Structure 1
Amino acid sequence: MKVSILRKISIAIATLLASSTVFAGMDMDSRVTQLENQMQQVRTETAIGTYGAQTATTRPEVDGYGWNFTVNALYWHAKVGGTEFAYTDQDPLGNLPISGRAKDIDFSWDWGLRFGLGYNLDYDGWDVRAMYTWFDSNDHSSTGAGQNSSVVPLKGSSKIVDDVNRFQFCNSAKSQFDFDYQTIILELGRAYFVSSQISFRPHWGLKTAWIDQKQKTTYSGGEAEGETLGLGVNNVKVKEESDFWGLGPRAGVNSKWHLGKSFSIFGNIAAAVLYGKFDVDHRERFSAVEDRRIKLSANRHAFSPNLQMQLGLRYDGYFKNNKHHLGIGLGYEAQYWWRQNQILKINDDRNVIKYDRYSEDVNIYGLTLDVTWDF
């Protein structure tokens, strides 16, 4: 009987040990599976067959459709080179010595809009975006001659009034400038962490732009003195246009310096080189004589490089059980376009009227309020 009892105890102990081994084996398998899953999250095989660390994505991940919509309110100021249209001189005939002050166009601050639509791709955390920007600004300026002084014109030809005697001064000048700016950007990028608090989003794509510039200037007044002519009751009107359309590659990088879970400082920079056509027209008219007119066209194809920079503060948050993401950013933005103003500059020091191009730069800067919704 004792032998039977000892046998039963031995079988029970063996069964318990076997069960423990099985359970331990099952726990080890699950641990290995979990470890493999974790390794897949931090380890990746590259396109050339090597292995390395995988960077964690920083794009908003929501339980939605992968789309995002962006709207920007722009409060910008434009600066255009080559808008000087007259200067005042202390001599009533505009003779030497000259002591005066140039008058140009100083744009006011104006509002603009930017819209964007993006989609988060399943492949390697990439995303695609399309953005449209619209900004329009116009301004006018004027100047007049005081006592014993004159206004010297800087636009147009001095031969518009007479082939022999030159139009060199007047009593008043006024000018209006219209600046219209539109761009469309298509880009492919990937946002990822490079440390626990810093993330980058390199991107590249295409940019197209429409930049239209128009300046209308009117000179009037001034009595004739020998070979130096004023305008009397007549006027001279000068109309200039430089319209550009171009297309070219664009590349850049966005950076975020995370201050916590929701707030961050962002700094973005991008450059593009557009190749396009400048439609340039120059027209002049003297009101007293119908045939005293000048009409020139000087269209050309050329490259137009530009640079875009942004710096500001941003908030990102999730709501509705992580089904939606809302990002709000406020920052300073600046765009610089080289040799964008191709308006003509008349040179008639000799008998034949010739021209040069202003080839002046354009820059736009101001505040940008960005609201992005991921869904």
Structure 2
Amino acid sequence: LQADSCPPAEPCAPCAQLSPTGGPDWIITPDAGPCVECGVDLFITAEFIYWTAREDHLAFAAQGSLQDNLVTPEVRKGKVAEPGWKFSPGFKVGLGFITDHDGWDLYANYTWLRPKTSKKKLHPVGDLVVQDAFNWIGTTTLAGTNNGQTISKAEGKWALDFNVVDLELGRNFFISRYLKLRPHFGLKGTWQKQRMDTKFKSVNANGDKFVARNTDRLDYWGIGIRGGLDTSWHFNNCFSLFGELAISNLWERFEVERKSTTQNLETRLFSVPMYLCDNFHTIKPVIELFLGLRYEDWFCCDTYHMSIEAGWEEQWWSDQNQLIQYWVETRGGDLFLQGLTVKLRFDF
């Protein structure tokens, strides 16, 4: 005879599986857990993310401009060069606890992502115009000046170190037979680093070759209040469509630095014509959106619960481009992250 696969049930709090009728009649919004039989009410999460990061106003050069040229009245259509955006893998991990106080839950989550752009190169069509004034080596600038040198190539790349910790207090409950809501509030903390490297090559009227480099760095941290709403639209006990929204307002500190160097490749003379730094505090908003499909189920006589979900996630970080562009000016620009998120949750 085959033994019963479920151990004898021990007395413990009753647990309702995705049913708003599981609680007493006086409960208006019954707890939706998910809970397990005789568990410790802990859950862990692990997420794989495959996101792309984009930031405004990182163009570093442009083609298709004529400077001081009266012989040729027209130039072919040119391009504006930005870093080569691409998708990068990352992860999230989390730990949560469902309390016995009306089903409130505490949840902490950490996000790790290291997006990098491919190196983007641009060669002249007409004159090659760069986004910064390198008059000390004699390149053509956006202001339209030209002191006898021609830019032969421009290239740039950008990288981001992205770390975020979210702490939530929430409650998951039914408002109808197949619809669940989970309002939550808490804190968001983040620390990030950005780096933008640009390089320009030029030749003067005497045939001397020059290389100019910009290295821009940004160190940033922020902390603030975060709140949101998670929704689950159930087709049955196992499958549901979910949508999530969260909004934060962060107190932030930026530390920015720019170092510009030039080198004459003929004489090997090296100089540092610009070395700037700045730091300041400000408040900026963050908006997060997530839409996807979830499957969940209980096993081992309801002593464990597991769910898997996949969807598209988007984040908007306001005015994160505080890199120094020329002397003491900054351009500003928003940071956007979006891509695939696959999440696994285990309750025990």
Match of 1:136 among 94, 100, 114: 114
1:151-208 Cα deviation digits (max 9, x unpaired) = 2111x33333269975874000111211111100111000000111111000000000
Distance in 2 (CA, whole Å) between partners of 1:219 and 1:115 is 41
Match of 2:304 among 321, 324, 330: 324
2:159 maps to which residue? Answer: 178
Distance in 1 (CA, whole Å) between partners of 2:347 and 2:69 is 63
Q: Which amino acid aligns with 1:125?
A: G
Change (3 A) 1:101 1:204: same
Change (3 A) 1:81 1:168: farther
- Per-residue deviation at 1:235? 0.4
Identity among equivalent positions (%) equals: 28
Matched, 1:309 2:289: yes
1:54 maps to which residue? Answer: 28
Q: In the alignment, is the contact (CA less than 8 A) between 2:149 and 2:204 conserved in 1?
A: no
Matched, 1:336 2:309: no
Change (3 A) 1:93 1:292: farther
Q: In the alignment, is the contact (CA less than 8 A) between 1:161 and 1:286 conserved in 2?
A: yes
Q: In the alignment, is the contact (CA less than 8 A) between 1:94 and 1:169 conserved in 2?
A: no
Change (3 A) 1:202 1:168: farther
Q: Which amino acid aligns with 1:72?
A: E
- Per-residue deviation at 1:298? 1.6
Change (3 A) 1:191 1:292: closer
Q: Identify the range of structure 1 (292-301 vs 128-137) with the bigger mean alpha-carbon deviation.
A: 292-301
Distance in 2 (CA, whole Å) between partners of 1:97 and 1:257 is 59
Distance in 2 (CA, whole Å) between partners of 1:251 and 1:85 is 37
Distance in 2 (CA, whole Å) between partners of 1:256 and 1:290 is 61
Matched, 1:160 2:140: no
Q: TM-score, normalised by structure 2?
A: 0.84
Q: In the alignment, is the contact (CA less than 8 A) between 1:337 and 1:362 conserved in 2?
A: yes
Q: In the alignment, is the contact (CA less than 8 A) between 1:84 and 1:104 conserved in 2?
A: yes
Distance in 2 (CA, whole Å) between partners of 1:150 and 1:165 is 10
Match of 1:151 among 123, 128, 146: 128
Matched, 1:294 2:274: yes
Change (3 A) 1:39 1:287: closer
2:91 maps to which residue? Answer: 113
Distance in 1 (CA, whole Å) between partners of 2:130 and 2:56 is 17
Please state whether the residue corresponding to 1:248 is helix, strand or coil: strand
Q: Considering fraction of residues, name the structure with more helix.
A: 1
Please state whether the residue corresponding to 1:158 is helix, strand or coil: coil
Please state whether the residue corresponding to 1:366 is helix, strand or coil: strand
Question: Map of 1:23-42 to 2, 5 A cutoff?
Answer: 41-42=24-25
2:258 maps to which residue? Answer: 282
1:200-239 Cα deviation digits (max 9, x unpaired) = 00000000011211001110033339xxxxx842200011
Matched, 1:203 2:181: no
Gaps of 5+ in 1: 1-37, 44-52, 226-230, 347-353
Q: Identify the range of structure 1 (362-371 vs 172-181) with the bigger mean alpha-carbon deviation.
A: 172-181
1:368 maps to which residue? Answer: 341
Q: Which amino acid aligns with 1:263?
A: F
Match of 2:223 among 234, 247, 254: 247
- Per-residue deviation at 1:355? 3.1
1:111-134 Cα deviation digits (max 9, x unpaired) = 110000000111111000000000
CA RMSD of aligned residues (A): 2.4
Q: In the alignment, is the contact (CA less than 8 A) between 2:224 and 2:248 conserved in 1?
A: yes
Q: In the alignment, is the contact (CA less than 8 A) between 1:310 and 1:332 conserved in 2?
A: yes
Distance in 1 (CA, whole Å) between partners of 2:171 and 2:347 is 16
Q: In the alignment, is the contact (CA less than 8 A) between 1:152 and 1:168 conserved in 2?
A: no
Gaps of 5+ in 2: 1-20, 140-144
Distance in 2 (CA, whole Å) between partners of 1:339 and 1:213 is 13
Q: Identify the range of structure 1 (190-199 vs 92-101) with the bigger mean alpha-carbon deviation.
A: 92-101
Q: Identify the range of structure 1 (161-170 vs 337-346) with the bigger mean alpha-carbon deviation.
A: 161-170
- Per-residue deviation at 1:106? 2.8
Change (3 A) 1:101 1:167: farther
Distance in 2 (CA, whole Å) between partners of 1:61 and 1:251 is 23
Please state whether the residue corresponding to 2:24 is helix, strand or coil: helix
Q: TM-score, normalised by structure 1?
A: 0.78
Distance in 2 (CA, whole Å) between partners of 1:88 and 1:232 is 22
2:54 maps to which residue? Answer: 79
Q: In the alignment, is the contact (CA less than 8 A) between 2:203 and 2:210 conserved in 1?
A: no
Q: Which amino acid aligns with 1:56?
A: P
Match of 1:122 among 100, 103, 107: 100
Pair member with larger Rg: 1
Distance in 1 (CA, whole Å) between partners of 2:164 and 2:97 is 20
Q: In the alignment, is the contact (CA less than 8 A) between 1:93 and 1:169 conserved in 2?
A: no
Q: Which amino acid aligns with 2:285?
A: P
